[in-house]
Amino acid sequence: MLGDTTQVGMAQGALAPAGKRRPRAARLGAALAALYALLGAALLTACTGTAEPGNPVLLIVGQGDAEASEVVLIEDTFAVRGATPDRFAFVAGSARPLPAPAVAYDVVDRTTTRRELVVLSRGAAQAGSAPAQLTFFALSGLNAANPEAFTQTRQLELGELEILPNLPTPSFCPVDVQVTHNGLYAAVLNNPQVCGGNAINASVDILDLAGGRLVERVAGGVLPAGLFLNQTPAEDLLLFATAAPGRINVQALTMPRPGATFGPGDSLEQRALTTLQVRLQQGALQDVGVASGAPAGGAPARLVALFDEALISVPDYLGAAPQPDAPIATPTGNRQLIRDDTLRTPATLILGAPQSNRFTLVPPPQQGAAPVPVNGFVRAEAAVIQESAGAGSGFVYFASSLSGAQLSVFDLRGYREGSALSAVPFAVPEITQPSFVTWVQAAPSLPSAP
């Protein structure tokens, strides 16, 4: 999926103490809290459904700037308390510092245990490269009463990786990261243009996380946007894009399996999956991902490629000869596919660039009928889908500090095809300059001692 596309131009600093970092956001949030409460109370029943008993969802927000960056936990109590204007609560004691601003993230074993968060941070640019780190956080056993379980388990400096002898000395300007199902390997997309270099030198690095090694670098025609790793216990398949005259080739690279060894001259299997014809009106490629629709074999059925003004689906992308559907026109200014880690949401959701003030829902393809996108208003820097037990059931969370610190919620279950999209805002004063939002199901709280 898409990571950061903006340049970092300030040197990082130490994390300011909690309570001293958010005065402006706190004032804005307090000023807007009453307005959001009134709006939320009016819309909650219609737009956010009814609660079913369960454990709360914990949202994980990466935020901050070059002076101070962190990840924090925010509790969504909807599953316990239902539709209330104060459904979100910052978890005191949950802030964890990052070495530099977060530009991307991934989750180990996304669809089941979601046991570890991997955050990619990037520091100040230096002539086409930048210092960068992967920071790992434990997610098991988390709930609002136990923020101590949200611990940093390790940190990996990309500049200190062991480089195999057959590889040239690399420079890093990472914009995205994806990890394998077991968390042993990662893929990092580099875009030197973000750090003041040339985009034609974009590359994909394959990292052995346990050994701290760079085991392969894929370069030559790699596009600097679009990276997705389809995690499964049987096979971890990395998708990325390469350029050719008048077209884009979506490549598939099989990631290493547990116990695999690498030495000079070893390489991973790579093949071209499908070709997308490039049309000028589609704009530049923004993101690559996989949408729901798992066939009997267990692999998701549709590859989706997001352009500035279009979405292209490739049904049965792992089949013998996958062919892309016709492009679906969208408003200009697409930024990223909104992540659905469970791959159960039938529709494809798109987050527009902040200045576009929108998100878009593209219904799943129907036999003989082209999907018609529907647009809704939102101002947000980050978004994620949190699916619950049924396909098309759950929430889309939007994190923003553009119009006051807030989380907005779109109810997937309550949406009916053809109706307007409505994201309900809630003031959360602790949010400051979010770069990503993801989620984990809270662990059950232990009963109180008698």
Domains along the chain with CATH numbers: 23-441 (2.130.10.10)
Question: For residue 40, which phi and psi values (nearest 5 degrees)?
Answer: -65, -40
What is the arrangement of strands in the sheet containing 374-377, beginning at the earlier edge strand? 334-337, 348-352, 358-362, 374-377
Count each helix (H run) and each strand (E run) in the chain, helices first. 2, 31
The predicted pLDDT at position 29 comes to 42
373 vs 311: CA distance, rounded Å = 10
Q: Pairing state of beta strands 237-244 and 162-163? A: unpaired
List average pLDDT for each run of 10 residues in the chain, which is 450 residues long.
Answer: 41 34 41 42 45 79 96 94 91 98 97 96 92 97 95 97 87 96 96 89 94 93 94 92 92 87 81 87 89 53 92 90 92 96 90 95 82 94 85 86 93 83 94 97 71
Whole-model pTM: value is 0.86
224 vs 200: CA distance, rounded Å = 8
Residue located via tokens 């309900």: 424
305 vs 57: CA distance, rounded Å = 29
The predicted pLDDT at position 32 comes to 41
118 vs 212: CA distance, rounded Å = 15
The predicted pLDDT at position 65 comes to 94
- Answer whether 278's CB lies under 8 Å from 258's CB: no
Instruction: Tell how far CA 387 is from the center of its chain.
Output: 14
Q: Pairing state of beta strands 339-340 and 382-387? A: parallel
- Answer whether 115's CB lies under 8 Å from 341's CB: no
Q: What is the DSSP-derived secondary structure letter of residue 390?
A: S
Pick from 147, 297, 277, 134: nearest CA to 207:
134
The tokens for 41 are 């109370």
Neighbours of 53 (CB within 10 A): 7
The predicted pLDDT at position 361 comes to 96
Instruction: Kindly tell me the burial class for residue 323, based on how many C-beta atoms sit within 10 Å of its own C-beta (0-12, 13-18, 19 or more).
Output: exposed
42 vs 85: CA distance, rounded Å = 9
Q: Characterise 87 by phi-psi region: left (phi > 0), alpha (psi -120 to 50), beta (else).
A: alpha
Question: For residue 43, which phi and psi values (nearest 5 degrees)?
Answer: -105, -15
**Cα angle: 424, vertex 358, 363; to 5 degrees:** 90
- Answer whether 404's CB lies under 8 Å from 29's CB: yes
The predicted pLDDT at position 3 comes to 57
